[in-house]
Amino acid sequence: MATKRTKAKRVKGKGPKANGPKAGVNKRPAKAKVKAKAKTKARPAPKALEKKAAAAKRKTPARPAAAPTPAAPAVPAAPIAPKISGPGVVHWEVQARDAPAQQRFYGELFGWAIDASNPMGYGMVKGAGGSSIGGGIGSTMDAPRATFYVWVPSIAAALEKAVALGGHSVMPRTDLGMVVMGQFRDPEGNVIGLVEGAS
């Protein structure tokens, strides 16, 4: 009987050791928790990340702004020719006693190319283009003068109207071959020419 109790005690004595809290416990999970805590501590706080991002932006040089594309130069509009409300001036003329001498004078003065190769020896001057008009330098038996010629549909009608307004007819409608023309004197004595058939 004594022997059985002793064995029972021994068994009971071993029982708590075998079934104690330390028995059968795996120590590895504890180490895993320590590692997890260490990793959690290693992660930077959100504020620290924001500070690092701001510092990186300061270090990164700003890209230079693209140069603005230059605007295309404005194209100037072509000048609009004024509308003529009536007959236009189509020819000017210098009438001289010595036509060749006057032709040389104006040719050298303005550099005009004067063409007098015609039966009348009338020096023709071509217009320079644009709004410029041509003219001529010819001889006269009257007093020397400068005048201009206006294109009209009817020289006879224009002379009649000039006389009605106080002018005087100087040359009736005359066909010279090169041109059909006429002349009148205005109320102050200026001689003005008329041209028919040229515009």
Q: Are 103 and 115 in contact (CB under 8 A)?
A: no
Q: What is the mean pLDDT of each run of 10 residues along the chain (199 residues)?
A: 50 49 51 53 61 65 64 60 70 95 94 94 91 92 91 94 95 90 94 81
Strand order in the sheet with 168-175: 114-115, 123-125, 135-139, 89-96, 145-151, 191-196, 180-185, 168-175
127/34 Cα distance (integer angstroms): 107
Q: Which pLDDT does position 41 carry in this prediction?
A: 53
**Whole-number Å distance between alpha carbons of 34 and 191:** 124
Which pLDDT value is given to residue 171? 94
List, in order of start, the domains of the chain with CATH numbers.
Answer: 89-196 (3.10.180.10)
Alpha-carbon gap, residue 120 to 139, rounded angstroms: 9
pLDDT value at residue 65: 65
Rounded to whole angstroms, how far apart are CA atoms 92 and 152? 15
- Determine the pLDDT at residue 178: 81
Buried b (16+ CB within 10 A) or exposed e, 84-111: eeeeeebbbbbbbeebeebbeebbeeee
